[in-house]
Chains A and B, each alone.
Chain A
Amino acid sequence: MKAAAPRTRRGRRSYWPQYLAISPFFVIFGVFGLFPVLFSLYLAFHRWNGLGEMEFVGLDQFRFLVEDSTFWLALRNTFAIWFMSTVPTLCLALVIAAMLNSAVRFTSVYRIAYFVPNITSLVAVAIFFGAVFSTNFGLVNAFLQAVGLPAAEWLTDPLGMKIAVASVMTWQWTGYNAIIYLAGMQAIPSDLYEAAKVDGAGPVQTFFRITVPMLRPIILFTVIVSTVNGLQSFTESQVLFGSNTTLNPNTGGPGQGALTMVLYFYHQAFDNRDFGYGAAIAWAVFLVIVLFAVINWRLVQRRASE
C-alpha cells in the first residue's frame, strides 16, 4: 500500500470515497429506474414492436387512449377493485389490531399468523383463491348452498370477479396494515385508557373515542399506501383470469371484468408487443396516481390545519 493522500488536500475531490459509497444506489436507480422512465416517455410517442424500426407517431397513441373504451373500463375496474379491497382491509385491520393489542397470550404467534399472507407468493395465493371461488366446486359456493343461498358465478360475472380479486387483496394486506396499526396503538399513552376506564367507558366506546382518533395520522398513511398499491394491482387479475388459452391472454377474464389499468398496459406491451401504446397507458396510470396523491395530500393538509 502506498502512502495515503495528503490530508491537506480539500475540496470536492477529497470526498470521492463518500460518493463512491453511495454510488451503487444511484447507478442501479439510473439504469433500472430513471432510464426506463425516460425511455417509456420517448416510446409513448412512437410505434414500436420491440424489434423493428421505431416510427414517430406524435400524439397518436394518446389520442387513441382518450377514445379507448377499454382503457376507461380498466380505469373503472381498477377503482372498483381498489374500493372493494381497501375499505374492508383497513376496517378489518383496525379491529384485528385492537384485538392483538389486548391479547394476553401467544401475542407473537397471532402477529406472525396475520402477517404470513403478506409474504406468501401472490401467484400461489391467487391460484388458491381461483379454486375457492370456482363456480361448481369452490368452497364459497359450497358454503352459500349449505346455508341455503344461491351459488354465484364468481369467476365469470363481472361483479363477482371484482369481488374475487378484491378478496385476494384484502386477505393479503389486512395483516400488514394490522401490524402497522398495532405499532400505532402501542404508542398511545396508557393513562388515556385508564382515564376512560375511570369514567366508565366500555371497550367499544374506548375504541371509537380514543383508539381511532389517536391513530388518525397512521390511518391516513395506510390509506395512501393502499391507494398506491391498489391502483397498481395487476398480479391478482393476471393469475386469476390469465386464462391459458394461447390466444388473447391477460385480457381480464370474461367481459374484461377484472381488467385493471396495469394489466391492460402489460397486455398491450408484452402480449401484443405494442410497446408505444403500452408506454402511453403507463403514463396515463402515472397521471391518475399523481391526481390521487394530490387529493390525498390536500385531505391531509386540511386535517392538519384543523
Chain B
Amino acid sequence: MELSRRRMLRLGMFGVAGMAMGGTTACSTSASGGSGGDKAMDLWYWADGLSKKVVDEAVTRFTEVELRPQQIGGNFKEKLVTTMSSGGTFIPDITGIKGEDFASFTPQADRFHNLLELGADKLADQYLPWKWKKGMTKDGKLIGFPIDIGPTANFYRRDVFAKAGLPSEPDKVAAQMSTWDDYFAAGVELKKAVPNTFIVSEAWAVYNVAVGQAGARYVDENERFIGDQDHIRKAWDLAVRATQLGINAKTKAGTPDWNAGLAGGTLASLTGASWVAVDIQSAAKDTTGKWGVAAGPGGTANIGGSFLAIPKECQKPDVAFKIISWILSPENQARGFTDSALFPSTPATYTMPALTSPSEFLGGQIPTQVLGPAAQKIPVQYESPNDQAVSAPFAIELGNIEASGKDPNTAWADAVAEAKRVGQRLGVK
C-alpha cells in the first residue's frame, strides 16, 4: 500500500512538472521565444500582411541572424500589446502594426527603435511622403516603416451603370462623378432606371472616405477635440444626404447581404480602398470582368495600410532594419502586390510590370493607372492616439440614422457630445 501510494505521488509530480514544461514549450512555439540562441530574430505579421514568398526569401538571405517569421492569427494588436506589456523574451524583434492601430502606439514611441537612427533617412525619398509622415511621432521619430497603403477609388459595376444609362468607361465615370454631389445625382438616376439598385452601400462608406479627404481628423496636434468642426460636419452631411436621397443600401460591409448585393448587382458601386477589390472578388467571383475602377468622388483618402516596427528589445536593430528595408524595397513591394494584393507605398513600383498588367476582374483595366495617381494625392492628416475611440460615436449615430431613422441633427449633437465625453476620459482637451 505504502509503496504504491508513493509511486502514485511521484507520478503525479511528474505530471505537474510535465504540464509546466508543456506550458513553456507551447509558449515558445506559438508565441515565439528567446530560446533559439543569440541569433534568433522573430518577425510577427498577419496572413497577407507581407508577401510570404518575400519573407521566406529573407530567411535564407540574411544568414547573420536566424530569422523566424510567424503569422499571428486573431486580434493582432491585442496579442502584440499583451506581449509587449508583459516584457521579456517573447517580444518579437520585428513586428507589423496595422495602419488603424498605429496611432495608438505613438505615445509609447520609446518602446521602439527610431528607424531614422538606423539609416532610414537615406531611404525617405523612395516612399510616399504622407505615408512616411504617418509612421512618425510628433517629435519626428520614425517608428513605423511603410508596408502598404489603401488609396480609395470608385469600384463600380460596368454592366449595371450601362443599363442605367450612366457612363461605364472609367475615364467617363471619373469625369461625370468627380464630386460627391455628382456621384449622388448618378445614384438617383441609377435607382430610377434600375429599381432596388444602390450607389452607396452604407453611410459609413461615404463618411469614412470623406473624413479621410479632409485636412484634419477628430483631434488636432495639441490633443484638442476638433470633431465638432466643419471638416467633419461636411462629411457627416454627405452621408446623411445619401441616406435621405434613398440611394443608401444600408448594408454593412462583410455581411452576407453585402456579398449577395455585390454578386447580384444591387450594390453597384463601392468607394473603398484598393483592397476592397479583393473583398469584391471573393464575394462575387462570378462577376469577373464586370467591374471597373475610376477615380473616386471628392478626391482620394487612405484607408488602412500597415507598418513594420522594431521593438526596443531587439538586440540587433541594424540587422533588423536591413531586413525590413529589403522586404519593403520598391522591387519587393511589387511582389507584395502580386502575392498579397498589398498596394505599394513606393511610387517607383507603380511602373513595374507587376503593377502595369491588366486585371481580368476589372474588365482588363490596369488598376494602377487609377490608384497610382490617387495614392500621390492623399492629404496628410494628424491622427491622434485617441482618434479611433473619439470617432466611434459618429459611426454609431450614423448607424442610428440608418437603422431607426433618427433625426440627423439630434444624432449629430449626440455624436459630438459623446465624442467629447469619451475624449475627456482619455485626456483629449
Contacting chain B: which of A76-84, A173-181, A220-228, A270-278? A270-278
Minimum C-beta distance from B312 to chain A (A):
11
Residues of B within 8 A of A271 (CB): 388
- Knowing A136-B261, A246-B98, A256-B396, the reply to whether A52 touches B252 (Cβ < 8 A) is no
Give the residues in chain A near B413, CB-CB below 8 Å. none
Q: Are B399's CB and A256's CB within 8 A?
A: yes
B25 close to chain A: CB less than 8 A: no
Contact of B395 among A70, A134, A247, A270 (CB under 8 A): A247
Q: Which 10 A-B pairs have the closest CB atoms?
A: A255-B403, A244-B254, A254-B403, A134-B256, A51-B108, A50-B81, A254-B399, A272-B389, A137-B260, A246-B100
Instruction: Give min CB distance, A235 to chain B, whole Å.
Output: 14
Is B429 in the interface zone, CB < 8 Å from A?
A: no
- A14 interface residue (CB < 8 Å to B): no
Tell me how far the C-beta of A282 lies from the nearest C-beta in chain B, rounded to whole angstroms.
16
Q: Which positions 320-378 of chain B face chain A at CB distance < 8 Å?
A: none
Bitwise interface map of A from 98 to 129 toward B, beta carbon under 8 Å scored 1, else 0:
00000000000000000000000000000000
Contact residues, B81-105 vs A (CB, 8 A): 81-82, 84-85, 98-100, 104-105
User: Quick one: CB contact mask for A225-251 with B, threshold 8 Å, 1 for yes?
Assistant: 000000000000000000111111001
Q: Is the CB of B208 within 8 A of A247?
A: yes
| Contact residue among A24, A50, A70 (Cβ-Cβ distance under 8 Å from B82) | A50
Asked if B253 is an interface residue, CB under 8 A from chain A, the answer is yes
Q: Are B260 and A24 in contact (CB under 8 A)?
A: no
Question: Can you identify 10 A-B contacts, CB atoms within 8 angstroms?
Answer: A47-B425, A50-B85, A69-B418, A134-B255, A248-B396, A253-B252, A255-B399, A255-B404, A256-B399, A272-B388
Contacts of A40-95 to chain B: CB distance below 8 A:
47, 49-52, 60-61, 64, 67-70
- Which A residues are in CB contact (< 8 Å) with B403? 156-158, 254-255, 257
Cβ–Cβ < 8 Å partners of B12 in chain A:
20-21
Kindly state whether residue B156 has any CB partner on chain A within 8 Å.
Answer: no
Q: In whole Å, how far is B374's beta carbon from the nearest beta carbon of chain A?
A: 19
Interface residues on A, range: 35 or more
A58 to chain B, nearest CB (A): 13
- Contact of B389 with A274 in the complex, beta carbons under 8 Å: yes
Cα A252 to Cα B355 with chains together (Å)? 39
How far is A277 from B424 in the complex, measured between Cα atoms in Å? 13
Contact assessment for B100 and A51 in the assembled complex, using a CB-CB cutoff below 8 Å: no
Q: Of residues 132 to 152 in A, which have CB atoms within 8 Å of B's CB atoms?
A: 134-138
Contacts of A246 in B (CB 8 A): 98-100, 303-304
Within B408-427, the residues touching A (CB, 8 Å) are 418, 421, 425-427
Contact present for B256 and A130 (CB under 8 Å): yes
B115 to chain A minimum Cβ distance, whole angstroms, is 19
Q: Are A131 and B256 in contact (CB under 8 A)?
A: yes
Q: Is the CB of B104 within 8 A of A49?
A: yes
Q: Please, which residues of chain B bring their CB within 8 A of the CB of A49?
A: 104, 107-108, 385
Q: Please give the distance in Å from B212's CB to the nearest CB on chain A.
A: 11
B346 to chain A, nearest CB (A): 22
Interface residues on B, range: 35 or more
Chain A residues, CB < 8 A from B175: none
Q: Given A137-B256, A245-B254 in contact, is the A270-B204 Cβ separation under 8 Å?
A: no
Interface residues, chain A, with chain B CB atoms under 8 Å away: 4, 17, 20-21, 23-24, 47, 49-52, 60-61, 64, 67-70, 130-131, 134-138, 155-158, 243-248, 251, 253-257, 270-274, 277
Q: Do the beta carbons of A64 and B404 come within 8 Å of each other?
A: no
B19 within 8 A of A: yes
Residue of B nearest to A1 (CB): B6
With contacts A49-B107, A246-B100, A248-B392 known, is A24 near B16, CB below 8 A? yes
Complex contact B254–A243 (CB within 8 A): yes
Residue B47 is within 8 A (CB to CB) of chain A in the complex: no
- Cβ–Cβ contact A130 & B82, under 8 A: no
New contact pairs (8) apart from A251-B392, A272-B388, CB-CB < 8 Å:
A4-B2, A51-B81, A51-B105, A137-B260, A247-B388, A248-B395, A254-B400, A272-B392
Cα A136 to Cα B75 in complex, Å, equals 30
**B243 near A: Cβ within 8 Å?**
no
Closest to B414 in A: A69
B210 CB → nearest A CB, Å = 14
The answer to whether A52 touches B392 (Cβ under 8 A) is: no
Task: Decide if A245 touches B204 in the complex (CB within 8 Å).
Answer: yes
